[in-house]
Amino acid sequence: MNRTLERMRNIGISAHIDSGKTTLTERILYYCKKIHRMHEVKGKEGGGATMDYMELERERGITITSATTNVTWNDHSINIIDTPGHVDFTIEVERSLRVLDGAILVLCSVGGVQSQTLTVDKQLKRYNVPTVAFINKLDRIGANPFKVKDQINDKLGRRAALLQVPVGLEDKFQGLVDLISMKAYYFDGPNGEIIREKEIPPELEDLAWQYREELLDTVSLFSDEVTEAILEDRVSEGLLLRAIRKGTISREFTPILMGSAYRNKGVQLLLDAVVNYLPDPSEVENIALDLDQQEKPVVLKADPSLPCVSYAFKLEEGPYGQLTYIRIYQGSLKKGDELFNTRSRQRFKVGRVVRMHADHMEDIEGAESGDIVALFGVDCASGDTICSPELNYAMTSIYVPEPVISLAIEAADKLSVDRLAKALARFTKEDPTFRMYIDPESRQTIIQGMGELHLDVYVERMRREYRVEVITGRPQVAYRETITARADFDYTHKKQTGGAGQFGRVIGYIEPFDGNYEFVNEVKGGHIPREFIPSCDKGFQSLLKKGQLIGSPIIGVRVVLTDGQFHPVDSSDIAFQMAAQGAFKQAYKKAKPQILEPIMRVVVETPSEFSGNVFGSLNQRRGIIISSIEDGLYSRIEAEVPLSEMFGYSTVLRSMTQGKAEFTMEFLKYGRLPNFLADQLMEEHRQKMESEQKK
Amino acid sequence: MVRKILSTRSPIKTLEKNIKGGLGPGHLGVFASRKGVGKTACLVQIALDRLFEEKPVIHVSYASRVDYIISWYEEIFKNLASRENLKSEMDIHDRIIRNRVILNFRQEGMKTEQVLKSIEALLGPGRFAARTIIVDGFNFYLPCAEDLALFKKFAADRQLEFWFSCSLKGEDPLFDENGVPFVLKDYLENIDIIITLEHDNGRVRLNLVKDHEQIFSKKLRLELDPQTLLLARVG
């Protein structure tokens, strides 16, 4: 076993907003001697917590982008990846979860398992992340860690048990009893940095033994060794520790710790738990795909002597240039090494390698497998795999969905124009689901993304980080047009205006097609000379960008060119392009065109008592309910709903279910827009065109 | 359109002719056989028969995964579409999905009250006007007299028909002298129709053993094609 690896942890801290995640992170940094003074969230002292470094996050008290920072605890190197808890920032969350090996799930001792806890818990389960739970805020009025423990078992369906019980609660919260060592711990000094070990207070003995028994019972469910030891009455501290570690890594067990980060109590014991129970990088299996062997899966070995395989999970445009955060899965890298980006096929030399600490950094010579570091000046996109040049691997790529909603934006004043361009350039590079383009007709800047909130956050970030006041239009759904019948065309483009004329004739048909576009050339006998065939293709394609119904892109068309005619002098590239355009216009109307709308796959998780209301709300939105899976307390309802009906759904869902339900949605397919809505859209488009013409 | 094409020649209609015009609202019917003989295929065809007529159906299942049930529908639909030479297959398929909701429960600890509550939620606030409920995977080997009474009352109150599958297990004999599965004998007052499936020379034949008030064993002129799992008339 590699000693460096054994002493490495890559962890995330997942939590409900307001459960005290940022304060906890701050305390971890302090006890690991990364910072010398503690701040509070929401900038009471004008400082703001260290991890939450973006101004917007500071103001809202939430973390949106993931920063990573490295700390040392008990001779172990811990990389903390800050994971956003909000459902709408999926790509951020998924990328962070991809690179971590373990997580701390923070819960509030008063609020317990809240709806958002369910979301982050689901994310952790989806990525098979071993987890320790931390019940925070034991100093608050109404704190009840025992209730929260039951909720972790019942609502999250985890097999979990307390590893500690509190000494006092609420304003009398003083310390913790450790149920493994059966000792009490107190946290002295101005910042709780001095740990005092004492005997268990007599009044807590019964309680402590009761919960130790519960812990042993739970552990014995998955550990035969512990079961035997209980029967023989020889449960040692080491045995229990090993069993808990094994159960946590195999995700059969979730140890529960507790404390109050704000009152500086319990954080050091939590750090001990991270080291004791969460896996080191070699204990987690990672798989890459070998691009030279038809994407054959290859198990990566966390061995520094092997060729390097790493994954760029986050890009950040900092004050000193572009930073690329990478997780090294195999091999090692150092300054001056040559590496290879398997997506862009580009080789590059490693320049500066840094270890990140929120927003300051430390230069290092190199790093080995298992580690998370940042590189300077690497031209790549997030999600890229970076290898030694002799390898051609890709880490399983994260699926990047097509954007489904767009918004026109413009800078409110001339001074902001440059800053807006800078902001957009950075955001589009950081987040592949966020895109922008300039509409050639309206000259408007259009941003595209995965949902209302997704775009809202970027507009907000432009304001705050780049001081750009932006004016936004109404969110627009990305409609498409398609044809539903075959239609023939026979079109001659002929122009004689003195000098060289233009002549081209095309004959053929268009028909529905299962992909986006296909061009088939069946012209025989040289009726259209070979060099003009691509001109025809180009002409047809140029009209696909804007359909005649509502000006949306056309998909699902096959054009078959069967015959044509040319003129030895007057035929040209442009003449055949024009002929193809004329032909397409002619045939399109006859091909029964239709408007398509994006249909989203919506999943609502709700307490079962509200499932009727949720069914109703989805039905009302032209949704099709596909299934509902119930496990007693909760229902998971899956439906297909048009995107245009989903605006504002989060508010509706919240009020309908007392804030207890949540939903996620992703693009599924394009579906036919019902006639009454299609008519409405066409009318709007006609009016828009008319008013533009008048201008 | 589809209604016309399929209804007249549907083997389900033959089945219904044999049981006094159908199961009917307020009644429970059961397909019983050992595992893997074709109960789910029969249930899915009853559901598809309703769906072709654009009548909504709720499919209750106790399976661990929903995609397993969906693939049953896909498979049977594909085979039916090819046997009946359906035109505009995709349109029909879309309409079927629109009218079908799958409710999936984990049997362990899942109370029938809860199952009925969910169906009620879908029918009431969900405004999903189903009249046929398919229940696949209900465990008749656990004491369930009370559950069946609840299903029956609910069926009567909401004017629904419920079609169940009953998976027979254990050693032979599984049936009494009238062909009624032993496991169902205690529940006869709440079950209106029982159809058993049996292997017969490489085919799967359907026997009607309880038809509302009457108990007798009658071989139906229906069988399951072992290749396509589609119901077909015999002879």
pLDDT in tens, A139-189: 988 889 998 998 888 878 889 999 999 999 898 999 999 999 999 999 988
* Average pLDDT score over residue span A87-91: 53
Distance in angstroms (rounded) separating the CA atoms of residues B32 and B17 = 20
* Average pLDDT score over residue span A357-363: 69
- Residues of chain B with C-beta less than 8 angstroms from the C-beta of A629: 66, 104-105
- Res. A51: pLDDT tops 60: no
B154-205 pLDDT, tens digit each: 999 999 999 999 999 988 889 998 899 999 999 999 999 999 998 888 889 9
- Residues of chain B with C-beta less than 8 angstroms from the C-beta of A625: 101, 122, 126, 128
Interface of A with B (CB under 8 A): 608, 611-613, 615-616, 619, 624-632, 635, 638
Q: Which residue of B has its CA nearest to A627?
A: B102
Q: Do A628 and B103 touch (CB under 8 A)?
A: yes
A467-513 pLDDT, tens digit each: 888 888 877 788 899 999 999 999 999 987 777 789 999 999 999 99
Q: What is the CATH number of the domain that holds B208?
A: 3.40.50.300
The reply to whether B1 touches chain A by the CB within 8 Å rule is no
The reply to whether B62 touches chain A by the CB within 8 Å rule is no
Q: What is the largest CA-CA distance in chain A?
A: 109
Q: ipTM of this model?
A: 0.79
Residue range(s) defining the domain that contains residue B70: 2-233
- Res. A46: pLDDT tops 50: no
Q: pLDDT band for position B17 (50/70/90)?
A: confident
- Choose the weakest-confidence range: A357-361, A444-448, B32-36, B84-88: A357-361
List C-alpha distances in Å: A354 to A357, A363, B48: 9, 4, 62
- Please provide the DSSP assignment of A391-430 as one string: --EEEPPPP-PPP-EEEEEEESSTTHHHHHHHHHHHHHHH
- Res. A559: pLDDT tops 90: yes
- Choose the weakest-confidence range: A394-398, A656-660, B91-95, B193-197: A394-398
The reply to whether B74 touches chain A by the CB within 8 Å rule is no
The two tokens of residue A462 are 């432009």
The two tokens of residue A435 are 């895109």
Residue A366 CB neighbours (<10 A): 16
- Res. A394: pLDDT tops 80: yes
Chain A nearest CA to B84, separation (Å) = 23
**Mean pLDDT over each residue of chain A, to the nearest integer:** 84
The number of folded domains in chain B is 1
Q: Do B101 and A625 touch (CB under 8 A)?
A: yes
A211-239 pLDDT, tens digit each: 999 999 999 988 888 888 888 888 888 99
pLDDT (0 to 100) of residue A360: 66
Q: What is the interface size between A and B, counted as CB pairs within 8 Å?
A: 66
Percent of chain A past pLDDT 90, that is, above it, reads: 33
Q: Please state the separation of Cα A370 from the chain's center in Å.
A: 22
Q: In what order do the strands lie in the sheet with A393-395?
A: A296-299, A287-290, A393-395
- Residues of chain A with C-beta less than 8 angstroms from the C-beta of B109: 632
A294-351 pLDDT, tens digit each: 778 888 888 888 999 999 888 776 667 778 889 999 999 988 899 999 888 888 999 8
* Average pLDDT score over residue span A20-34: 78
Q: pLDDT band for position A542 (50/70/90)?
A: very high
pLDDT (0 to 100) of residue A40: 53
* Average pLDDT score over residue span A249-269: 92
The two tokens of residue A554 are 């056309």
- Residues of chain A with C-beta less than 8 angstroms from the C-beta of B158: none
Q: Which of B110, B118, B126 sits opposite A619 (nearest CB)?
A: B126
The reply to whether B127 touches chain A by the CB within 8 Å rule is yes
pLDDT (0 to 100) of residue B233: 83
* Average pLDDT score over residue span A196-210: 92
The residues, any chain, with a CB within 8 Å of residue B99's CB and separated by 6 or more, are B51, B54, B55, B56, B57
Q: Do A619 and B128 touch (CB under 8 A)?
A: yes
pLDDT (0 to 100) of residue A410: 87
Q: Which of A615, A629, A632 sits opposite B126 (nearest CB)?
A: A615
The reply to whether B129 touches chain A by the CB within 8 Å rule is no
Q: Which of B66, B98, B118 sits opposite A611 (nearest CB)?
A: B118
How many residues can be counted in chain A? 695
Q: pLDDT band for position B9 (50/70/90)?
A: low
Element (H, E) at A495: strand A487-495
Q: Do B114 and A612 touch (CB under 8 A)?
A: no
**Mean pLDDT over each residue of chain B, to the nearest integer:** 87
- Please provide the DSSP assignment of B19-39 as one string: TTT-S-TTEEEEEEEETTSSH
Chain B nearest CA to A628, separation (Å) = 5
pLDDT (0 to 100) of residue B29: 96
Q: Which of B97, B104, B121 sits opposite A629 (nearest CB)?
A: B104
- Res. A118: pLDDT tops 80: no
> Residue written as tokens 């207070």?
A201
Q: Which of B105, B110, B121 sits opposite A612 (nearest CB)?
A: B121
* Average pLDDT score over residue span B81-108: 81
pLDDT (0 to 100) of residue A316: 76
- Res. A130: pLDDT tops 70: yes
pLDDT (0 to 100) of residue A53: 46
Percent of chain A past pLDDT 70, that is, above it, reads: 89
- Choose the weakest-confidence range: A4-18, A272-286, A454-468, B3-17: B3-17
Q: pLDDT band for position A92 (50/70/90)?
A: low
The reply to whether B66 touches chain A by the CB within 8 Å rule is yes
pTM of the model: 0.61
- Residues of chain A with C-beta less than 8 angstroms from the C-beta of B128: 615, 619, 625
* Average pLDDT score over residue span B210-229: 86
Whether a cis peptide bond, with omega within 30° of 0, leads into A202 is no
DSSP H helices, B124-202, are 145-158
The residues facing A360 across adjacent strands are: A357
- Residues of chain B with C-beta less than 8 angstroms from the C-beta of A627: 66, 70, 101-104
Chain B nearest CA to A478, separation (Å) = 22
pLDDT (0 to 100) of residue A359: 54
Chain B nearest CA to A609, separation (Å) = 9
* Average pLDDT score over residue span B102-130: 84
Q: pLDDT band for position A1 (50/70/90)?
A: very low
Query: What domains appear along chain A, each with residue ranges and CATH number?
Result: 3-283 (3.40.50.300), 287-395 (2.40.30.10), 405-476 (3.30.70.870), 481-591 (3.30.230.10), 596-676 (3.30.70.240)
Name the residue type at position A114: Q
Q: Do B128 and A615 touch (CB under 8 A)?
A: yes
Q: Do A624 and B97 touch (CB under 8 A)?
A: yes
The residues facing B28 across adjacent strands are: B162
Distance in angstroms (rounded) separating the CA atoms of residues A370 and A1 = 13
Reported as half-sphere exposure (CB side, CA atoms, 13 A), residue A681 has a value of 23
Q: Which residue of A has its CA nearest to B110?
A: A632
* Average pLDDT score over residue span A663-690: 87
A623-652 pLDDT, tens digit each: 988 888 886 677 889 899 998 888 888 788
The residues, any chain, with a CB within 8 Å of residue A129's CB and separated by 6 or more, are A12, A97, A100, A101, A102, A103
- Residues of chain B with C-beta less than 8 angstroms from the C-beta of A608: 114, 117-118
- Choose the weakest-confidence range: A35-44, A656-665, B60-69, B94-103: A35-44
